[in-house]
Amino acid sequence: MTEQYDEGAMIGQTKVPVFPEDSPSSLQQRVKETEHKLYPVALNHYIRENFQDIVGSVPIAGISAVS
């Protein structure tokens, strides 16, 4: 996370179609729906790729790092 908008590391990306008849509101709704699908996938991927780092630095109930 950084102090600048959209300056942090990218953890996920997908395409959202933009249609000629879109209003700002309809496009915003489509982006929101896509974000709600992307966030769990991106978070799961991040956790799976960084599990040892996370376990080693953040206490997680019932889970311990194995050296």
pLDDT at 30: 94
Q: Is 39 left (phi over 0), alpha (psi -120 to 50) or beta?
A: alpha
Instruction: Pull the structure tokens for residue 61.
Output: 């109930």
- Please tell me the predicted confidence (pLDDT) of residue 50: 72
How far apart (Å, rounded) are the C-alpha atoms in residues 57 and 43? 17
Domain extent listing, the chain: 23-57
Mean local confidence (pLDDT), 38-52: 81
Question: Left (φ > 0), alpha (ψ -120 to 50) or beta: where does 6 sit?
Answer: left
Torsion angle defined by CA atoms of residues 3, 6, 22 and 31, in that order, rounded to the nearest 10 degrees: -100
Q: What is the predicted pLDDT for the residue at 29?
A: 95
What pLDDT does 44 receive?
87
Please give the structure tokens belonging to residue 3. Answer: 């102090």
